Chain A
């Protein structure tokens, strides 16, 4: 056998494999397209009724009657369209779509699937119950915060956030703990879920700010800042001053910038000192801009020449956000070639591009 023969055989085998792969893909696409077209044709008579319901234009109940009477085989295909609309609308249309799902037994089905052996089914069930936003589902979804599968825990937290029941806040915070090798909820998922639960979670946040778990304290501080829970400001001050975790102190500083008052400018300014960590200094400079107090002008102007150039940029940006007085400070130092002047010019240029200079001038 010559050397060329094995190569030829290999080339033929590879060629056949490629050709068969292309054929399989083409057939699969064709079948999918045909199934899609068949499904669309089957659902077409109901599409208008679904849009009428989702847009709140079904005052006489015509669409409702039509959709409630959909036969089971058709409903199995229509279900995905109904579920797809739910996260896109709110108010009465969302309630109506939820009731439509309930009328076709979807809530009962989802409730049964919560204990399925399949993690995908458990997650889908929690997702659906969250979309329907029925407070009665909270008790059903809560156990999934301790699910063995991290994705299911995540979906459960989001579902609880979508339902918006504040009584679930403590459980969501507890799910942040990492124990027995089971990683806690991601902070941002817990934070978003908590924020969606509204102002009634304030007591749970206050408990969380005093938690032994830094992950819980951190999330609580973030939520306090984003949700404007001003009553938690005293605890934030304490965390900023004494907490052993840098992340928690930084989150407390950010939150204080949002919910604090004039008195907090001094504390935040103190933590921009060179003896503090880089992260905390930068965070506090930004928070001073959020706070917007004229008492911070000297501190921020003093940071324009700092050796940490990122800190200088943040301080300059904070001066812009304080308003005309901060901008005047920047204009004072913007001439020349010293580091302070460069930081000031950069911030003023950016503010000009963002339209902030015009707004500030009008404000003055």
Chain B
């Protein structure tokens, strides 16, 4: 029932945890070892394993908030003093998959496209922390393919990318009946008035200029999604 033990990390860090959780391609499979246990037992084991493997983290609750819903994190906080660690639960990847599977249904999916690795990781991290499911790509062609294959709820596009630019992607998204209503934020270093005008004229829902405040970007994402729900 266990997963691929050889692929499991020697120690769990959020570095391991987040990509697994974030990358849309890796969905948590049902029927893994994690599913053999009840939620409470599972989380108590997670606490034990993570305490041993991530001494840099101040509290397990912090990590719990990284990957789970607030409800689950609260449960962990309540159980934090119990450090039960079952010896029969060795595969940490199964734990992570189990954790992911708990949160799948409530995620809003966002696509982020940027050829700058720093910004891509930063935005992915910020949105993941806020509870979104994030699909990350590094060029315009991949962004368009991902949007057309399975439209996300919102897309954050860099303007200057190899292949198709963010503006090109936006133009094609607006021209496609299936995706024309997608919320799109352009995230770019192009700050001239004419650039901003061009972005909105092409159909951008919002325009964020680099250097940017990650907090402000998150507010704009939240506001756009809230507007869409109304």
Residues of A within 8 A of B (CB): 44-45, 47-49, 51-52, 54-57, 60-62, 66, 81, 84-85, 87-94, 354-355
Contacts and interface: CB of A to CB of B under 8 A. Distances in A.
Interface residues of B, number: 26
Contacts of B129: 55, 57
A48 B201 contact: no
A87 B15 CA distance: 23
A47 B13 CA distance: 11
A88 B125 contact: no
A93 B213 contact: yes
Contacts of A94: 211
Given A45-B13, A47-B15, A48-B13, A355 B201 contact: yes
Contacts of A66: 56
15 contacts: A44-B15, A47-B15, A48-B15, A49-B56, A56-B214, A57-B125, A60-B59, A85-B118, A87-B211, A88-B118, A88-B122, A89-B211, A90-B211, A91-B214, A354-B201
B212 interface: yes
A89 B212 contact: yes
Contact of B62 (A44, A51, A60): A60
Contacts of B58: 60-62
Q: Which DSSP category, helix, strand, loop or mixed, fits chain A's interface? A: helix
A20 to B, nearest CB: 34
A55 B214 contact: yes
Contacts of B57: 62
B215 A91 contact: yes
Interface in B68-125: 116, 118-119, 121-123, 125
Nearest to A53: B122
Contacts of A92: 213, 215
A4 B204 CA distance: 69
A39 B24 CA distance: 28
Contacts of A91: 213-216
Contacts of B14: 48
Nearest to A86: B211
B41 interface: no
Given A48-B14, A90-B211, A91-B213, A62 B125 contact: no
B61 to A, nearest CB: 10
